[in-house]
Structure formats: C-alpha cells, structure tokens
Amino acid sequence: MFKRFFYRVFSQRRDSGENDGKPPSVSTSTSSLRNNSKIHALAVTFIIFLFIGLIKLVTFQLHFFDPFNNGVKDYEVTDIIYARLRDTTRVKREARIVLIHVDKPDRASLANLLDRINAQSPRAIGLDILFAGQRDAVGDSLLSRRLQEIPNVVLAGNLAQYQDSLKGIPNMKLSEPAFSDYGVNAYTNFLAGTDRTVRLFSPTITTLNGKENKAFAVALAEQYDASAGNRLLQRKKKVERINYFGDYRSFIRLNAASLQDAPEEALAVCKDRIVMIGFVANNDPGAPIEDRYFTPLNPVYTGRSIPDMYGMVIHANILTMILNGNYIYELPKWIVTIMVWLFGYINVLIIRRIYLGLPDIFHGVTRILQIVELTIFFFFIALIFYYLRILIDFSNGFLALMLAYDILMIYESFLKKRIPIIKTLTHEKDPTN
C-alpha cells in the first residue's frame, strides 16, 4: 500500500502533474516537468516568505493588533523549553553565591551588616542598592567608612534612559560620591521593561560620555574569578542570552532582618563566596512585586502572568553562567535564513507533489505531514538547545510549513492561471486554449 502511495506521489513518470491532474495538452519531457515543478515550488516558497514578511510588517505596525502583538513579541519558542521541558522537580544548587534580602535598610544598619559580612572574608560583595542623595549624617558616614575599608565591593548603578535624539545612553547614575568612590560601579539594568521577559543582558555598555560600564554580574564575576570575566568579554558580544540556572530556590539565601541578633555562625556561609545584597523576598503570588521580572522560567509562557523572578536572582543567574562559562550559542542569521528557506522549499516541493499525485486525500495527508514535521523539528530544536545550548530561531520555518498548504492552494487554483508571468516563467501553455 505504502509502496503504491510513494509511487503515486514521487514517481517522475506521472507526467500529468503539471496541469492540475489533467493530461497535458502539450507533450513535455520529463526533465522539463521536473524543472517546472522546481520553479513552481520556488515561486510558492517566495510567496510564503513574502506573506510572512507582510504579516509581520502589518501586524506589528497597526495599533489594533496590540493585544496580539504584545503576546507574540514577548514570546519565544525556547520559553517552552525552559517552562515545560525542563525537569522542574530537580533543583540544582549554586554554592558560590549568597543572596541577602534587605527590604529598605537604613544606611547605619547596612554598614553594620557589611562589617559583619566582611569579617567572614567573602570573595566579593555586591550591593544591589543605589544610594542616591544624602540621608542621615551618621548613617552616611558609617556606610562610607565601611565601604572604604572593604575591598571587592561592587555598587549598583542605573543607566539613564536611551536618548533617541542622541542615539545613545547619556550616562550612568551612581550612588553618592561618598559611597561610589569606594567600589566598582556597575549597572543593574536589564534589556527589558518591567512588563517584558528578561532573556538578554549587555555585558558592557559605553555611555555617551565615553565611559565603558560593566553589568553588575560581570563586575562581580571579575572580582571572584578574573579569568571567567575575561572569557565573557573575549566573546565580544554586545548582547548575551541568559542561560538560566534556576529560580530563587537554587541560591543560598539569608534575610538581613533575622541576622540582626543572630550569632556570627549565621554569617559563616559568606566565607569565600560572592555575597549579593538587595531585594529578594519569597516568590508567593502575594509577595511584593518590586524589582520583579518575567523570565523564560515562568510556567505561564504565553500572555500575561505574575512576574516570577527578582532582579537580584537574575543577576545571580547571569553570574552563575559567567562563572560556569555555560553560554548560549546562536547560529548566525544567514545560516538560519538558508535553513528556513530550504526547509520551506523542500516542504512546498513535497506538498505540491502530494497535491498533484493524490488530489483526493491531499488535505488529510498534508495536515498529518505538517503536524508530524512540526513535532519532529520542534523536538530536535528543543533537544539541541537543551543539551548543547545552541539556539536556532526556526519560527519562520514553522510558520512557512503551516502556510504552505493554503498558499499552494491559492497558487495552483488562482495565481497560476491568472498571472501571465508565471506561465511565461514555466513555459506552459494554457490547457484551456
């Protein structure tokens, strides 16, 4: 049965193919039919990608598509891999980083906390807090003095808004000079707004004042392991994809409020580790949403849901990625484009053969083929990303596969008969003449 099926679809001896199932009115050689078939498939492939381009151009420009756009723009196929194909029952642990939660500390108690942490000889301390303006003189002075005494401190900075007119970021907002003069200043901004998913980060950004600023996690990585920081910078990528290690459960956490009266043993965990101080409350739905972002780990990967990760946990994830050297690799765009076009073309070729060879069951066979292919290709793309950390953006290929059936139908029943250039292109004579 299968033999007959394949024979009917793929046999080159079927010379009736090029005329909608009717016997050809002009005798054509097998090779010219073969060429015609390829040219038609190429024309359909071209129309498919033109259509995809137009959809993207039109929908993303029109205001009334906004609800659709906001969902689609903020969604990537790899989100499914993180959200659904990851084994969420397994929680890996990162033992080199300690996160300390402080809600809204006064500077005097923060100075005291820093003093106690420093007594445990941590490898680096990151303060994910911007100390803007002067508050109380005693607290300011204590904190300033503490920062002078402690080496390896990284202080949070805040990159200013991108200025369209200047084509760049003017500067980085630092803490008061009394604090920022005594540590490395690094920015804590992510490449996403508060209602977008954080998938990327910039290792360094040069502001318009000519200063090269480093990301918070990069500065901390350099303090802990200079070679790991160098490995990242040698990649010379303006933007890096974040290879998420895990959610807040993967990291050692302390609560500054409970440390106030705690003995020194409670802080012993800071020894030889990177200590990050900032806002990292629990992840209950009712927990504060300050500095909380969407990440690909969010189990609800389409539409809006509750932001799932605090900024400091994202910094910790970036830090882990840098220290482990586990970067995500992306295939160059030109390779992906060739792959997608080839994929689209081969599919059109196959679907057209089915259309011409099996007109009665074309619909069913094509739909099954689409579903099977989609599943298999998605599986391989997911597998490659999951195990090799190679990201292949094949969304246009999938879209082309889904559109191939309908566009081929339009082409065969409408365009081919009415557009003279296609006829000229394929040297066919209209059988109706």
CB under 8 Å, gap of 24 or more: what pairs does 298-304 form? 298/79, 298/83, 298/197, 299/83, 299/84, 299/88, 300/83, 301/75, 301/79, 301/80, 301/82, 301/83, 301/84, 302/71, 302/75, 303/71, 304/195
- Specify the residue, 45 or 250, whose C-beta has the smaller distance to another protein: 250
Out of 382, 384, 410, 425, the only residue in the binding site for another protein (CB under 8 A) is 382
- Specify the residue, 122 or 229, whose C-beta has the smaller distance to another protein: 122
Does residue 58 interact with another protein by CB under 8 A?
A: no
How, if at all, do strands 212-215 and 204-206 pair? antiparallel
- To another protein, the closest distance from the beta carbon of 69 in angstroms equals 16
The helix (H) or strand (E) run that includes residue 94 is strand 94-101
Does residue 305 interact with another protein by CB under 8 A?
A: yes
- Specify the residue, 225 or 412, whose C-beta has the smaller distance to another protein: 225
Residues 80, 82, 84: CA angle, nearest 5 degrees: 55
Out of 21, 151, 299, 325, the only residue in the binding site for another protein (CB under 8 A) is 299
Tell me if 404 sits within 8 A of 355, measured CB to CB.
no
Does residue 170 interact with another protein by CB under 8 A?
A: no
34: number of CA atoms within 13 Å, CB side?
Answer: 7
Does residue 87 interact with another protein by CB under 8 A?
A: yes
Stretch touching another protein by CB under 8 A, among 23-31, 286-294, 404-412, 423-431: 286-294
β-pair partners for 163: 168
- To another protein, the closest distance from the beta carbon of 419 in angstroms equals 38
Does residue 91 interact with another protein by CB under 8 A?
A: yes
Does residue 132 interact with another protein by CB under 8 A?
A: yes
Please state the length of the chain: 433
Enumerate binding residues for another protein (CB under 8 A).
80, 84-87, 89-93, 95, 98, 102-106, 109, 130-133, 158, 160-161, 173, 194-195, 249-255, 257-258, 260, 262, 265-266, 268-269, 285-286, 288-290, 299-300, 303-307, 375, 379, 382-383, 386-387
